[in-house]
Structure 1
Amino acid sequence: MNRIFTILCAALLLSACGSYESFQNEATKEYSSEQMKKFAKYMIQGKTLYTSYCSNCHQADGAGLGKVYPPLAKADYMLTDMSRSLCIIKNGMQGEIKVNGVLYSQKMPDNNSLTDLEVAEIATYINNSWGNAKGLVSVKTVQKSLANCKD
C-alpha cells in the first residue's frame, strides 16, 4: 500500500511540474521525453528507498559518516564499477573497502528484500545525486549484474 501511495505521489508531482528539467544532468541531456519520464520516476522512488535503506549510514547527502561509513557522493569505488556496486546494494559486504583513498571496514548488511526494480531505482538515485551523473540504471543491468555477483 505504501508503494502505491508513493507512486501516486510521484505521478502527481511529475504531472504538476510539467517538466523533467530539474532531473536532467550531463548523462541525461540526450534523453527523449519518455526516457526522462522514466528517469524522473526512478529518481523519485530511488530517493524514497535510499532514505529508508541507506541514509542512516551513508547520510542524506551521501557524505558517509566519518571513517565509519564511506561516502557515496563522488565515490570512486562506486562510480568505477557499476556491477560490483549493484551487488553490494543487494547483498551487502564485509571486509575492507577503499573509497576516495580512505579505508573502511564496517560491515554493510544485505538488502535481500529489495526487488531488482528497487535496486535499479536506488542505484539511479545514488548515481545521479551529489555531483554524480551516470544516467538511468536499468532493471536489465541490475539483473545481469546480480546474476554474476561473487560471493
Structure 2
Amino acid sequence: MKKLLFTALLALPLTLFVPAAAQAQKKTTAKATVQRDQLLEGKKVYSKFCASCHQLDGGGVPNLNPPLSKTIYVLGDKNRLIKIILNGSNESLEIDGETYSNPMPQLDILKDQEIADVLTYVRNSFGNKAGAITASEVKAQRTKKK
C-alpha cells in the first residue's frame, strides 16, 4: 500500500508539469512562427523596395549604396535604423573605410508593419543576427517625426 501511495505521489507532479511544458512549447512555437512570418513578409518588402539599391545579397554598391551586412547601422540602434527608413538619408556614410554617398529616399509610404518586417528581415539576413523590430516601435518613431 505504501509503495502504491509513493508511486502515485511521484506521478502527481509530472501530471501537473506536463500541461505547463506543453503550454511553453506552444508559446515558443507561436513566437517562432511570428518571427518566420515576419521574415518572409520582410523579404517581400526588401525585394520590392530595397534590393535595387542594396542588392539581393545585401552587399550594396561600392561608393553609392552601403552594404547591409554586419554594419553598426543595421545591428545598432533600432530607432536610428527606423528613422533612416522614415526620413531617408542625405548623409555620406563611412563603413569599413569606404564612403557611400547615394541619398536614400524616405520610405514613409510603407505601413508600420511593413517597415518592422523589412528591418527585422535585414537585421536577420546577410550574416546579421539582431533583435526584431515591432510595428509599435516604428509607430513611435513615426509619431515623433510629425
* Structure 1 residues 18-37: Cα deviation after superposition (integer angstroms, max 9, x where no partner): xxxxxxxxxxxxx8111111
Runs of 5+ unmatched residues, structure 1? 1-30
CA positional deviation for 1:80 = 1.4
Is the alpha carbon distance of 1:141 and 1:101 closer, same or farther for their aligned partners in structure 2, counting shifts above 3 Å?
farther
Whole-angstrom distance in 1 between the partners of 2:85 and 2:53: 13
CA RMSD of aligned residues (A): 1.8
Return the TM-score normalized by structure 1.
0.73
Compare the two structures and name the one with the higher helix fraction: 2
**1:70 maps to which of 66, 71, 77:** 66
* Structure 1 residues 18-57: Cα deviation after superposition (integer angstroms, max 9, x where no partner): xxxxxxxxxxxxx811111111111001000000000000
Give 1:140's aligned residue. Answer: 136
Give 2:19's aligned residue. Answer: none
Letter in 1 for 2:49: Y
**2:39 maps to which of 38, 43, 47:** 43
Whole-angstrom distance in 2 between the partners of 1:98 and 1:145: 24
Give 1:108's aligned residue. Answer: 104
Whole-angstrom distance in 2 between the partners of 1:49 and 1:144: 21
Are positions 1:93 and 2:89 aligned together? yes
Same amino acid, percent of matched pairs: 32
Count of aligned pairs: 120
Letter in 1 for 2:62: G
